[in-house]
Amino acid sequence: RHLILTQLFFSTLLRGTCGKATNKHKPWIETEYQGIVMENDNTVLLNPPLFALDKDAPLHYAGEICGFRVHNGPLGSGSVQFEAVVLDRSTGEGLVRSKEPLDCESQREHSFTIQAYDCGEGPDGVNSKKSHKATVHVRVNDVNEFSPVFVERRYEASVPEGRLFDRIVRVEALDADCSPQYSQICFYDIITPNVPFAIDNDGNIKNTEPLDSKRQRIHTFWVTAFDCGKNRAQADAQVVVTVKPSCKPGWIGWTKRVEYTPGSGSIPLFPSLHLETCEETVWNIQATVELQTGHIGKGCDRDSYSDRSVRRLCGAVRGEVDLLPPPSPAANWTSALPTLPSSDSSLVFSFNGSNHVAVVPDAVVSALSGDHFTLQLWMRRGGANIQPATTQTRGNRKEEETIVCSTVKNDDSFSHYSLSVHGCRLSLFYWPDVSAARPVKFLWKLEQVCDSEWHHLSLSVQFPSVTLYVDGVTFDPALIHDNGAIPNPAPRQRMFIGACWEEEQKEILNNTIPEGKDSGDLIYIGGYHGLLSGVTVRPGSVEPHSVVECLYACREGLDFGDLETLGSGMKVHVNPSQSVLVLEGDDIESFNRAVQQVTYRNSLRFATPGVRPLKLTTSLRCFNEESCLSLKQLEGYLVVLQPDAPQISLSGVGPHLARPAPEFEGPRGVPLFPELRIVCSLSHAVNTAAQGMEGGGESHTLMSDAVAHTLDGCEVQPLGEELNPEREELLVDMDVVRERGLEIINTTAYIAITGAESISVYEDVLRSVRYRLAKGSARFERRFRLSCSEMNGRYTSNELTLEVNFLHSLDSLYHPSHLLASQQQFLHPSHHAGELSGHTLPNPHRNSVVPGAATVIIMVCVGFLVVMVILGVFRIRSIHRRGEGSRGGAKEGSNQWDDSALTIIVNPMESYESRMGISADTEGEGEEDEEVAESPDDASDDQRIIIKKEGRDSNARRY
């Protein structure tokens, strides 16, 4: 028993000593491993391979590796999904594997730590040691398990025809694989054969040939996609390409010619116009419509009356003085100025800047005193092309062009002013008192002064206040007090148009004032170069703005139909002359609707016919300014058709007016046109077809409609010799003329009544025109012609010719008793008063002349023998006819021919009455008259014979 205990003691002691000696070292592994694992595998391939070493080897247990432990990595992931196992305990070889399948798409990389453990000192693993922790990085390798998928199942695009495009549409497919190899789409393919399209590896589709919408409007084909692992898309995509007709950016529906019928009011200029941008995105559109009317009078269609008549129609205060009146004996200071034709019938004067100057007489200037006045004029600077002066020195008045220069006398002082142009500046120099020598300069910088176009200027001076209206728009001046070296104007009353004057201090030059106009001490300075018309000045209170606007107002121009239809963001602007209209907006549809509302209006009933050039300029702004559309300017023209001309008809005046000469010698004379009627009518075609009429076709007839109208002038003119002021004159009721505000020129050659007024007013004035003779001045006849016009002679009336016959007493012409008796019968008291004063409408023989009493006597004497023979023959035939079958309407005693005492009595009024178709039942006072009166057949035969004889001449006359 002691032996057994001894052995057990030594064995235990031996085991304790040997254990401490055999497991002295920890296992050793690498500090870091890189691992790869496939999605369809769970074994991780490590680099370097997993081996654990122990220096206790080759001892059993102590030198063997019993296992590996997996721990969480730095990010706390990986330990759950992976495990490590020992493949060989003696070599320490190990294996890392996943516990469950890995998904690259959900997590591509994993990190964790690993430790190795030895077997300890015995089979129970007592006193085992562990190594340090090593980091393991595992990357999950992708497997091409997914196929490409298109983002859209259907792709649509539209392209214009006839062009090749680098890209029409782009298709796109995606792959769910995680690796670049299998997730990228390597190429696309069009699987529909024979289509004119191609696709590149990025999915861009283009056409390989120009497309034709007429041949094929819609192209449909299919495309597929492949990833880099050659997996094809699960489902193919459909592509639809629509071919549009060729799109050209610009205006569609533009009509180059637009016709306007006068009297139509307003018409749309572009009823079907719309803008095509070809799907280009624009954020601002601006269109400018220009109507060029510079060749129509003074810039547009205005009332074609004289400037003075227009002032009356506009309600201007009377009292204006025309500084450039039409040349006449009473206004001869403009006779030397050249004039130009004007389509609006106004008188246009030309100034050449040197010797074309109008010197207003002192009698006219004396009525223009005071520091309150309104100066108005039409001005067109220079010739066809004028450029602003570039070498002018500021303050040098000699280089200015003076329009009006005036010195007028006030109560006890003189004031001076001059209106000038200088480059593109308009200036007014004003001296309230020339003795004070302190001028004030009002200066305006205006483009209108130098653009070589007609402009209307209205300058209202109410010193120290000055108001300028240019084309109806107010402009404020720059006020300058000038105390420079400006010579004091001479205290003498004078006014020049087209230049100013300067007291000559040196040798007289060639441009002196004409003879009789202070030629010894004045020379011209600052000559005006250009055109002037309608220069008037009115002293007193200034002209109201409403009158100025009316004087300038255009009766034609551009307008906008209905401002309420403007869309949101739309703006419209029209210049004062209504020749330029600007539209601005940001929406294509609203802009197109607005353009179709642009109209042309002309309120004149008789608009000036002709062509008005029309322009449309468009400016677009896009988000991409480099590729923004640029539209060319469109040009067209508006044609104003010829209006229906009014027919001004004068009637109610007979071609003859016969009165006893003493009536013409009375203090009031004889009215020439007491029953004058003036009618204005418009003729137009009327379709009379198909109103129950047979024969088909269309029939047109002219219908005349009387219209209310305005005349602006009538003229009474003596034909042949002018009036002899010592023997005859034409009288007019001046009270009627003044009351109506008309003007009259009464000369020996004509009477002219002018001014825009109604027809009824002109009828009243013309009915008051009388013809008066001096005692003993009556002749046998005097002829007058009456005519009227409107719109400064644009439309004229028919001409009425009136022949005045003076009925003389035959005592002074012929003395036989039978002629005296005839003349007494002719002047029988008032029996034929109505017939003598009667008037008839003009007949075809308006130029025929009724001879006087002496002419009748001579003609009767010449044909006396012939008449006697012919009357005898017809008398016998008449008796023979009455004896055979006469029903007896005449007295029996009248059938006898008594030629025992034949006496011929000639009544001059019988010839006049027979020509005018007037039947006279004259009561005879002698046997001869009764016998002739009781033989109507003889009278008719007698008349026929005489007519036949006179018919041989060109002008048949009846007596």
Same domain (yes/no): 489, 375? yes
Stronger pLDDT, 3 or 901, i.e. the higher one = 3
479-488, 654-663, 694-703, 949-958: which has the minimum mean pLDDT?
A: 949-958
Q: Is 620 within the bounds of a domain?
A: yes
Query: How crowded is the C-beta side of 377, counted as CA atoms within 13 Å?
Result: 26
Same domain (yes/no): 259, 283? yes
pLDDT at 582: 95
27-36, 97-106, 253-262, 856-865: which has the minimum mean pLDDT?
A: 856-865
Per-residue pLDDT averaged across 718-742, rounded? 87
Same domain (yes/no): 335, 461? yes
Average pLDDT, the chain: 76
Same domain (yes/no): 347, 364? yes
Same domain (yes/no): 673, 778? yes
Stronger pLDDT, 280 or 287, i.e. the higher one = 287
Same domain (yes/no): 528, 619? no
Q: What percent of the chain has pLDDT over 70?
A: 73
Whether 323 and 535 have beta carbons less than 8 Å apart is answered as yes
Band (pLDDT 50/70/90 cuts) for residue 272 is: very high
Residues 6+ apart with CB under 8 A from 386: 450, 452, 529, 530
Stronger pLDDT, 236 or 471, i.e. the higher one = 236
Q: CATH no. for residue 235?
A: 2.60.40.60
Q: Is 870 within the bounds of a domain?
A: no
Per-residue model confidence as pLDDT tens digits over 706-721: 556 788 889 999 998 8
Per-residue pLDDT averaged across 776-783, rounded? 80
Same domain (yes/no): 547, 613? no
pLDDT at 546: 79
With tokens 């197109």, the residue in question is 592
Q: Is 946 within the bounds of a domain?
A: no
With H, G, I as helix, E, B as strand and everything else as coil, classify residue 817. helix
pLDDT at 261: 92
Same domain (yes/no): 451, 592? no
Stronger pLDDT, 184 or 874, i.e. the higher one = 184
Q: What is the dihedral of CA 474, 476, 482, 488, to 10 degrees?
A: 10
Sign of the CA dihedral running 741, 745, 746, 750: negative
C-alpha dist (Å) from residue 700 to 542, 641, 646, 684, 948: 55, 20, 19, 10, 41
Cα 402 off chain centre by: 33
**pLDDT(841) > 50:** no
pLDDT at 196: 95
Residue type, 438: R
What CA–CA distance (Å, rounded) separates 2 from 863? Answer: 216
Same domain (yes/no): 669, 611? no
What CA–CA distance (Å, rounded) separates 211 from 161? Answer: 5
**pLDDT(959) > 60:** no
8-12, 312-316, 359-363: which has the minimum mean pLDDT?
A: 8-12
What CA–CA distance (Å, rounded) separates 849 from 780? Answer: 11
Per-residue pLDDT averaged across 402-422, rounded? 86
Sign of the CA dihedral running 357, 362, 364, 365: positive
Size of the chain, expressed as the number of residues it contains? 959
Q: Which of 617, 640, 663 is the last residue of a domain?
A: 640
**pLDDT(692) > 50:** no
Helices (H) and strands (E) in the chain, counts: 16, 57
Whether 771 and 669 have beta carbons less than 8 Å apart is answered as yes
**239 class by beta-carbon count within 10 Å (0-12 exposed, 13-18 middle, 19+ buried):** buried
**272 class by beta-carbon count within 10 Å (0-12 exposed, 13-18 middle, 19+ buried):** exposed
Per-residue model confidence as pLDDT tens digits over 426-457: 998 888 877 776 778 889 998 888 888 888 89
Same domain (yes/no): 40, 136? yes
With H, G, I as helix, E, B as strand and everything else as coil, classify residue 2. helix
Q: Is 817 within the bounds of a domain?
A: no
Band (pLDDT 50/70/90 cuts) for residue 487 is: low
Residue type, 142: D
pLDDT at 922: 37
**pLDDT(812) > 90:** no
Q: Is 408 within the bounds of a domain?
A: yes
Give the global pTM: 0.55
Q: CATH no. for residue 713?
A: 2.60.40
Whether 71 and 97 have beta carbons less than 8 Å apart is answered as no
Per-residue pLDDT averaged across 141-168, rounded? 89
Q: Is 699 within the bounds of a domain?
A: no
What CA–CA distance (Å, rounded) separates 182 from 160? Answer: 38
**pLDDT(833) > 50:** no
Residues 6+ apart with CB under 8 A from 870: 945
Q: Is 562 within the bounds of a domain?
A: yes
- Angle formed by the axes of helices 853-862 and 908-915, to 10°? 100
**pLDDT(882) > 70:** no
Q: CATH no. for residue 543?
A: 2.60.120.200
Q: What percent of the chain has pLDDT over 90?
A: 24
**pLDDT(818) > 50:** no
Q: What is the dihedral of CA 693, 694, 695, 699, to 10 degrees?
A: 0
Report the domain count for the chain.
Answer: 5
With tokens 């009477």, the residue in question is 751
Q: Which of 141, 174, 203 is the last residue of a domain?
A: 141
Q: Which two tokens stand for residue 959?
A: 């007596």
**484 class by beta-carbon count within 10 Å (0-12 exposed, 13-18 middle, 19+ buried):** exposed
Q: Which residues of 867-882 are buried (b: 16+ CB within 10 A; e: fewer)?
A: beebbeebbeebeeeb
765 backbone dihedrals φ, ψ, rounded to 5°: -70, -45
Same domain (yes/no): 275, 331? no
Band (pLDDT 50/70/90 cuts) for residue 860 is: low
Residues spanned by the domain of 170: 149-244
**pLDDT(391) > 80:** no
What's 433's DSSP letter? -
**pLDDT(26) > 80:** yes
What secondary structure, in 3-state letters, does 298-363 show? Answer: CCCCCCCCCHHHHHHHCCCCCCCEECCCCCCCCCCCCCCCCEECCCCCCCEEEEECCCCCEEECHH
What secondary structure, in 3-state letters, does 556-592 show? Answer: EEEEECCHHHCCCCCEEEECCCCCEEEEEECCHHHHH
Most confident residue range from 208-222, 322-336, 377-391, 783-797 = 208-222
pLDDT at 597: 92
Q: Are strands 237-244 and 154-160 parallel, antiparallel or unpaired?
A: parallel
Cα 484 off chain centre by: 47
pLDDT at 787: 94
410-414, 593-597, 826-830: which has the minimum mean pLDDT?
A: 826-830
Same domain (yes/no): 439, 370? yes
Q: Which of 300, 918, 207 is nearest to 600 (CA)?
A: 300
What CA–CA distance (Å, rounded) separates 735 from 755? Answer: 15
Q: Is 609 within the bounds of a domain?
A: yes
**Direct distance between the N- and C-terminal alpha carbons of the chain, in angstroms, rounded to an integer:** 206
